[in-house]
Structures are given as C-alpha cells and as structure tokens.
Structure 1
Amino acid sequence: MTENGVFPDQQTYSILFDALCKAGRAEEANVLFTSLSKKGVKASNVMYNSLIHGECEIGHVDKAQALLERMASEGCFPDTYTYNSLIGGLCKERKLEEAIQLLHEMPEKGVEPDTNTFNVLINEMFKKGEADLAKKTLGQMVSSGYSWDSYTFTIIIGFCFNEGRLEDIDNIMDEMKSKSIIPDLVTYNSLIHGYGKMGLLDKSFSILKNMIDAACKPDHLTFAILLDCLYRNSNASESFDSSQTWKQIGIDTVHELLQQMTKRGCIPCNSTYYILISAFCRCGRLDEAQILLGCMRETGLSPNDKIYASLIHCCINLKKHEEALNLLSVMNDFGYLPDLRLYQHLLSGLCDEGQFEKVKSMVLDLLERDYNVDEVIWKILIDGILKIGHHEMCADFFSKMEEKHCRISPPTYSLLIRKINCSQDGLQRQLKSQG
C-alpha cells in the first residue's frame, strides 16, 4: 500500500486488528497498536475493543486490563462490549470476585450491563458452586429489567443436570416456550449432553428429533456429544425405551452419526451398532436395523449374540418367524448359545401360528444341548407352552424326556404340579406316572 502512496487509516487498522485478534494473534496486533501515534493514526474504541477481546481470548487478562486503563488517556471510553470481554476473560481465569467488581464498576463509568454480562457471571457462579449467589443474581437481573435469553435458560438447565434435578428440566423448557424464547443450538446440545451423561439415551435422541423438527441443524458438536453418550452407555441399550420419539429418528441421522464417528477417528464398534440396532428393533423398525447390520458387516465387524437376539425378538414381534429361524440358525452356526427366553418368545410365536412340529423339534433339540434341563422346563414349558394352553404338547414332551432320561429335580417337579393343577386330567396323570 505505502509503495503506491496509499497509507492505511484508522478504519484499515481497525479491520487489521480485528482479523489478527480473531486469529489468536493479539500480541502482533498490540505491537502494531503501539506504533499508531508515530504513523499519525488515532486510536479508536473499535481498536481497543478488538485488542481487549483478543487478549482475553488468549488468557492475557492483565494486558487487557492495562488497555482498559489506557483508553481514557486517548479519548476512548469503554462500552458494554469492552466490559463483557473483560468479565468473560476473568471468568475464564476463575477470577469471579474481580469480574463482579467490574460489574459494579460499570454504572459508575456510565456503562449499562446487558443480558450477556449477567449470563457470563451467572454461569461462572454455578460452576464455582455459588448457586445461591447465582440465583440471587438471576433475580436481580429480572428486577433490573433485563430479560433472560436462550443462553440464560441453558445455564439453568446445565445447573439442574449437575444437581440431578431432572424433574425441573421440563418446567424450564415450558417457561422458555411461554416467553416465546426458542431453544438454540447451544440449548439443544446442552440437553442432549445432560440426558446422555445420565444414561438416558432415548431422551437424548428425543431431543435430537425435536431439534431437527425445529429446523435447528445439528453441528459437529451435537454428534460428538451423542458419540460420547453412546460410548458412556455402551452396555446399556435398555436406555432406549422404544418410545414414539425413537420411532421417528431417521436412518439418515444415524448414518450421519456413524460418519462423524469415523471422521473423528472413533471407529464404530460392536457396542455402538448394538445400541443403534437394538433401538430400532425395540420399536419394530426391522428394515432399518437390517440396514445397519449390513453396514456393520461391510466394515468387517461380526455381529455379536446380543445383536442377533435383538433382531430375532423384533422378527418374532412382527410375526416374521421364518426370518427369526434363519437368524437363529446363523447365530447357532457362529457358536452362540441363545438365551432360553429368546427360545421361549420364538416358540410361543410358532405355537400361535400352529407350527407345532417345529416347536417339538426345537424343544427336543434344546434338551440335547448344553442347557440346564430344569431351566428348559421352567422357561420353555411352564412359562411358555403351558402358559398359552398347549397341555397335550407338554405331555408329549414329558414322554420324550422320559425316553431320553431327562429327569427334572423335585422342586421343579413340585412347581410344575402346582402350575398345572387346573389342566387336563390326562396331563396330571402323565406327570404323576413320572413321579
């Protein structure tokens, strides 16, 4: 510029200082600033604000305070932005008392605080465990005519999560709605993080759905929070409660979540897929669950027994028993020993469809495998086939068991007698003959 006879003016330097400070180069901006008088350029409020904010951002609060003291000597006067930068910087350094002193100084200098001023202070008060002071300041904020904004509510929500006061969260959200304050990205992320941290994954995904419905686009932090929640709760698929909310979570959103994981070097593992697949299965979305199963296999991961069990239970609930049997066969081929309750669920479904030959074949197969005979009796016959009224089939099984020398223990036998005391006389005689 100077080579062409063009010399930077006050506005040019203001833009330059702002750019340097935003890039974390406040020190360079400060060096240039000290040479302004030699260049015949007068300092301005905009320059001071950029420098003070920049120094605070890199933790040089002392230098920022020195700039504040110097302003008046150059005919510049601090405004709300100046004080907010300093108060924010002091709070980052955990110097709450000094930040509060600046708040009290503002009216003396003819400067009015704004909602942001109070938000920064209240947030730090809660962080330092000064809940009573924070609540008092919130009250003063309202009595002084300052309205709460979405960030104010977000701060309060964060405090409630930290205190475990989940019952208050819905009330806070209702109050936001009554004041026509729309939750923003920060609010939604705070809610997702809070519920996820407490193991309430279904609630976290419920908030994600609300967020998308409200046209608030999730950012990289949203997905990072969800990933963290998934890893925190990698063994707790029960956190998903099959609510209506999860039924509406799109497969595209889940794909985005998995892509974000990979981009961040957090390669999805069996636990990740188990949580997602079981969540889809719990609300009957078998197609989406199978899509994820395919994605999982493409990455070289082998589904574990829990994933197969989730898919099989879903097939049974949807009365897709052939698919359930195929998955059970695959599960057995991989050497997994399915839980007896899974067999109970499948056998009950097959009985409902009148596929009694398959039922007989499966029960007899169970008796020859590594299961405890008493457990098979209890979970499959007593709690399964007997409960749905197929007494003759049970009599047939007892005959086969006698042939195979499968003897049940006296306690289980006694329990069986009590359970079927209202059943057919023929079945009672069959049991007594085996006693």
Structure 2
Amino acid sequence: MRRIGDGYCGLRLDEGVRIRPDAYTFTILIKALCHAGKSEEAFEMFRRMKEMGVKPDKMTYATFVAGMCSCGELNLGYAVLEETVREGVILSAIDYNMVIDGLCKENRLQEAEMLLQKMARQDVTLDSYGYSYLIRRYCEVGNLVKALDLYEEMASKGIQTSPLIVSYVLQCFRKLGLASEALLYFQKFRESGLSLDKVLYNIGIDAHCKLGNMKEALNLLQEMRDKGFAPDKIHYTCLINGYCLKGEIVNAQKVFEDMLQTNVEPDLVTYNVLASGFCKYGFVDEAFDLLDFMVDRGIEPNALTYGLAIDGFCRGGKLSEAEILFNILVERGIDQSEVLFSAMVCGYLHLGCTAHAYMLFLRFAAQGRLVDEISCSKLIGGLCKDGNVEGASNVFNTMLEKNVIPDTISYSKIIMAYCKSGDMQNARAWFEDLVRRGVSIDVILYTTLINGYCKANRLQEACDLFVEMTKIGIKPDVVAYTVLLDGHLKETLKQGWLGIAKDRRKIEFKVKHSKLLNSMKDMKIEPDVVCYTVLIDGQCKTEYIKDARKLLDEMLEKGLTPDAYTYTALISGYCSQGEIAKAEKLLEEMVDRGIEPDMLTFSVLDRGILRAREMQR
C-alpha cells in the first residue's frame, strides 16, 4: 500500500502482485488520485487498467470524467466521454453537464451545444443544468439571441426552468441597456407561475426605475414584501437611482431615509448614486452633508464618489461648484486622482468648454499621468469638432506613449478631421498607424479616407484605396460607391475648367459611372436616396437630362422617396438647359408628394427663370 495525496491509500500494481484488481478497485484509485490533484497519475491508472484487460464500467468512466474536469483537464475528460459513446456506455446527465460546464468556461460554446445535442441522441435524460451553463455563458458574452433560443428550446422540451436561469437572461437584457425588453420578459416569466426570488424582483424593480415607472416599481417592491422578502440595499439603491433619473430628488432622499429607518445599511454605491443626484440637480448643501454623513457612518468617500459628484455638478450646469470641489480635492492629494481629472475633463466637455478640458488634460499629462480612455476619446472628439486637429493629435500621441491604444472611433474622428482640413498626409499617416497596430479596419474608415482624397482632388489615390479595400476582403457599401461616383463627377467638372473637350469629358464620365454601377450590381448593392441624388446630379451636369429623369422615375418605382436635394438637382438640370416649364412642373410634383422645397430649390429656379429671360432678350 502507498499514500496518495492527503490520507488516500492505493495499491501498487507491481507485476508480482497476485491479487487482480477489478474495475471497482481501479475506480477508487482514480478517484483518490483526482481528489489529490494528480491528474497525470489518474490518467496513467486509467490506461494501465485497460492494459491489464480490466474493462472500465459506467462508474469508472463517470469517475474519470468528473475527476479530469475537476483537475482542469477538460480535454481528457471530453475525450473519454466520447469513448463511452463508442463503447455503448451511457453516462448520466450529471457527467455530460460537467463537461458542458467546462466547455462553456473555455468559451467552446459550439462544442458544448453539440454535446447537448449528443445527449439527446443517446437518450440521456436532459435537465436544466446543461442548458443553464450554456445560457449563462451566452449571456455573459452578450449573445442574448442565442441565450433566448436555448431557453425556448429548453421550454419546448418540457424542462423546468429556475429563477437562476431566468436571472441570467434578464441580467443580460439589463447589461445591454434593454430595460423595456427586460421588463417584458420579466412579466412573461412572472405570469408563467415561476416562483420569483429577490434577485428577479430586483431586476424588475430596476427596469421600472430606469423607464421612470416609479409607481410600478414601488408596487413590485410591496408585492415582494407581501411574499415575505425584505428589501435589501440593492432594492433601495435601484429606487433611489430611479428617482434621481427623473429628477425627483426629494423622493430619492425619502427612500434613503426609509432605508435607514428599516436598519438597512447603505453601501458606497448607494451613497454615490444619491450624491450624484444631489449634485446634478443643484442640491449642493445636501450633497456635502451626505459626504459628511458617509464619514460619520464609517464609509470613506473614494475618488469615484467625488468623481460622480463632479460629473453631477457639470451635468446640472454647476460648473463653479464642480471646479471648487475639484480644486479642494486636488490640493488635498486624494488617491486615484485620475478619476477626478477624468471627471472634470468630461464635465468641461459636457458644457462645451473644450479648451478648458484640453488644458486640464495637458496639466495632468505634465505630471506623467493620463486621464482614462473614455475621457481621452471624448476629448479627441471635442477637439476634432472644434477644428483643433493638432490638439487631438497630441492627445493621441500622449496615449500611445503610455501604451494606451485609442479605439477605432477615435482614429476615425482624427482621420476625418485631417481629411476635412485637406491634410491627407496626416490622415493617411494615422490610417497606416492603425493598420500597423493590427486594429481591425472597417469599410467606414476606408470610406472616410477615400472621401478625403476625393475632396482634395486626388481621385486616383481614392480609386487605388478603393481597390485595396476590396482586395483585402472588405466589401464596399453604398456610401463608398456614392463617394467615388461623386468624386468622378467633380473630376469631370474639373476637366472642363482645364479646357478638355466636352464630348470627351462626357464619354469618360459615362464609362466610369457605368463601371462603378456594374460593380455595385455585381456586389448586390442597391443605390439609396443619396446615391441616386449624386447620379441625377451627375447626369444633369453632364447634360444627360433625360437619363436624369429616368433615374428619378426608377427611384419612385423602387419605393424610394426623393428628398429636396434630389428634386433640386433635377430642377437645376432643367434650368441649365432652359427647360423652365419642366422645372416648374417638377416643383409642383415635388410639393404634391409632400416634399417641402427649401431656399436652395427656389433660388435655383429663380436663377433659371432670370437666365431664360435674359436669353430671350
């Protein structure tokens, strides 16, 4: 005999041993080794068992599968489970569920689903646990559609659900910000006769609060009380948050006081929610009193508490109060100062004070520090919007120096800003930087750069980039095609200014547009209203007025509604050819279809009429 792990004994299977171990003996040894975390030795024991001609029975297989899963050797457990199928040994749902759970934890969800289906084919009685593991994991990764499909499948098989499984689904709704849908399913589960627990009641109350249904939230809380469940700090915090979202701060304060009277101790989250509400709606004295009250109750406000207070002040338009609190805290030298600076940067941006936000960013950066990624992203957007592309570029470089990679949206904004300013060199440089870092490039980013080249009268580079995009497998969308179609039109007009013969220009324009439209057709991309407007404008400016009218009719046949720009483009075309009667008739048609002409429409028509009169003199 020898020791295995902590107090487990096993048999040495030496060649000289006269007693032949049976399946039960091997099973005990495998279980002991797995319990001691000796997965390799357990596997060796299982292999030795088969070498000695001892056939594993159902108990042995179940023990080995469970042991491997508990030791983190999922693949071995899974492989042996597959072996049982080949050997005709049918294990229980418990054994299958252990492997399904392990596969879900490793995000091998497709394999887990296949195993669930295999259970059904093997006539293994399915229970809620296997479905529970899959539904939970799909909800954790945000794949709500798949989770709901599995839930419906489980229900269709008559498998009883549980409050835990339902909570996974409802929590996923809540995490995705789908409060209305969460409430809809909550009512559905409630009406099905499911026994609700405190967690489910909390989800329902929270959904009502986020939708502003405070009366219904209170009714649900009372129903919970009637069933013998005492509200806890989470329920009270949801109610306080709901009232704060509605701006009913007095009611929020009453819930907080009720919470204290029922001896439910608020936590930091509760204080943060209420403090933020006080600050947002101008209850300045109450906010500072609450912070003092926290300290008296033994809960020290942290940087997040103060950050929420600063954010609340700014959202409520109380910039001076936010600045006073911020300066006091910075002078005090509070820990996690990046939370405070981030909140103040976002506060300035919320109030449109982009320059102040940027100066504060620079002040913090001078200390070798960086505000959080969300604040950086918002600041980049604000600076680009204000035309301060150099400032946005500086924020970018500061982030990269700190090994913080800006998100794709931030890259898009700075590339768009450089394109807008006509600086295609820097726009392309940031684009190439994004590619170099291995960040996924989408059609929107490519289209942004293509549009920049078109506006900068660098059509060939735009076309080259379009080809590059398609070669790496990114499918152009209607916007990308529209940008190029418009680019070719502008190139044709530019050729006219350069003195190139009209007939040659018109032919080249037709050929290029035809090529792009055929490509769209091959890609099964249908023109939208904007695309048709560009096409109509192009035909008008190259004097193909009949073709322009055909395009308008084609739009209408497809059920697309032209807008004021579409009609104005064709009206302008008619006016340019002196066909004023047709232009006026088109204006009437436009009005009859309920489309309001704008100032540009009338201006185009008036100029056309004046030009026609001058021609008649």
Comparing both chains, which one has the higher relative contact order based on Cα–Cα distances under 8 Å and sequence gaps of 6 or more? 1
